[in-house]
A and B are shown apart, each in its own frame.
Chain A
Amino acid sequence: MNTDRIIAQFKGKVGGFSVDANFEIPLSGVTALFGPSGSGKTTILRCLAGLTKLPGSLSVGNLAWQTPNHFTPPHLRPIGFAFQQAELFPHLSVNKNLDFAEKRSARRQGAGTPIDRSVIVELLGLTHLLRRMPTNLSGGERQRVGIARALLSRPRLLLLDEPLAGLDQLAKEEILPYLDNLTTASNVPIIYVSHDIGEVARLSDLILQISKGRVVGIGPANEMVERLGLDAGVSLFEESVLLTGHITSHDKANRMTQISMANGQLASPIIDLPIAHKVRIRVRARDVAIALEAPKAISIRNILPATVVICEIDQATGSANVSLDLGGQSLRARITLASLNELDLRPGNQVFALIKSVTFDGR
């Protein structure tokens, strides 16, 4: 049996909704199940947990959780599940909620390596909340406790069902850094359900695109974010790409960080990570302009040589999407039709990409 992969196949109906999902993903890193509301992402996640039972099969590493004639019930699967509304036990304090998970953590076959409780409490910033009752926590705090509780159960696989969906923007901003740390510090593979491309792009390594109960696309996060931008069916989406590079220097006085890419340097607002650390940068297509010659005397700091790959014209909006090759990484620029014609851009042209702004996306 393949020991480092999740192989899943579910086919059936839940309350009139058809699921026919078939996928194989690595048992490592962060995988996102991405799609609009009602696309069946949560149902697929529940099938992985065993909370919903559909005909099919599922193996996670060397454990078979579901075969045609065997079904491991959820309490025997070494999983952690974070619910949309945290679902803390209302009669137990935060500390007792964590106890509940820790006490039962060793019972399940194939339980993961325990992570020190103090590390988890620290990681999710719960030290000052331990004695509180769940009703006295904010939405973001409840989510953090829910995730900590799931981690304490020694999961081999952590399943997150839209943990940010019920939160307002402020609470989301508050909790995202914790999730960033989680993915690197916990070393537990994560499957993350979300309909928000921003979250997905920031947190995941691999994206499974879900539509009508099926997996319709799968690929590394940076490729998928670019591809999903072309898909008119995906709403809530600001067209963007992800670029990866390494930190080369910090300019503390000007609050800038220099990142080296395959074919040049990018300046980003300061990133609090050490030199040589790998980072991911998100660039929106509308923040990219194209010039035929390297411009001088211009406020834009990021000017990188690029090759035109393809130009797609959108007559309706009078704009064009230009795909660029940036030394092996893709970049997209959204420019007007008029500019496209004036510059006479064609595949293969050598141009300069002018990047107005970038946002730090993850490590």
Chain B
Amino acid sequence: MEYLTELWPVISLTLKLASVTTVLLLLIGSPIAWFLARCKSGWKEPLAALIAMPLVLPPTALGFYLLLALGPDGPGGWLANLWGGRSLAFSFTGLVIGSMVYSLPFVVQPIRNAFEAIREPTLEAARTLGATPTDIFFRLALPLAQRGILTGAILAFAHTIGEFGVILMIGGDIPGETRVASVALYDFVEALEWGKAHILAAGMIAFSFLVVLTALMLSKTQRTS
């Protein structure tokens, strides 16, 4: 039990980071996915490739550039200046930004697939009924893609909980501010505190299993319905 009181700040920070990241990612990921699914612009595939980059980049490489961008000399520093700070690196806000970049493809891809599965004539029917483009996005596209959106949300949440390299590069290990579960686990192992390490590691394994199972079951019902 005393373990749990010590671990609770870490776990709650992790859950908070994952929740905030997921909500924000859904807000920006859905319009991006809509653009990628419907737009015929030549910029679409380069944009899709850019968004998918975190899938293949070493998190440390991504983290390095994010660190520069969030630091005092980057746009993050400029942003932080607006409310009197010096830098976004090593802050919760910085972690959220980094996690969003890192998990963006996990949100965009399933939602884009769901949008692409909507029949073009169905959308045309809405246009002939007087629906504006925004109207179509909110009243048709989002409800029709709800399973894809749910899948994207689950993946973003889980992926954010599991990230390590990027966080270490841009957030460090500040208790209560940037010390999330994956980083804490690393510390416990370094300090030979195996009991705490077990609790965190086993908890994350159980959690991941549940998440992957849910996602699989969702995609199965999607196919059969």
Contact = CB atoms under 8 A, between A and B. Distances in A.
Interface of A: 49, 51, 73-77, 79-81, 83, 85, 87-91, 100-101, 104-105, 107-108, 146, 149-150, 153, 159
A101 B121 contact: no
Contacts of A108: 130
B124 interface: yes
B221 interface: no
Dominant secondary structure at the B interface: helix
Contacts of B132: 75
A100 B139 contact: yes
Given A91-B144, A100-B139, A73 B127 contact: yes
B41 interface: no
Contacts, number: 64
Contacts of A90: 122, 144
Interface in B120-150: 121-122, 124-133, 135, 139-140, 143-144
Contact of B128 (A79, A85, A89): A79
Q: A-B pairs with the 10 shortest C-beta distances?
A: A104-B130, A81-B128, A87-B125, A74-B127, A101-B129, A75-B127, A87-B121, A153-B129, A87-B122, A91-B143
Contacts of B125: 81, 83, 87-89, 146
Contacts of B220: none
Interface residues of B, number: 18
A115 B157 CA distance: 49
B124 A87 contact: yes
B130 A105 contact: yes
Max chain A C-beta neighbours (<10 A), residue from B127, B135, B140: B127
A80 B128 contact: yes
Nearest to B140: A89
Given A85-B121, A91-B144, A49 B128 contact: yes
22 contacts: A51-B128, A74-B128, A75-B126, A75-B131, A75-B132, A75-B133, A76-B130, A77-B128, A80-B129, A83-B124, A85-B121, A87-B119, A87-B125, A89-B122, A90-B144, A100-B126, A100-B139, A101-B129, A104-B131, A105-B130, A149-B129, A150-B128
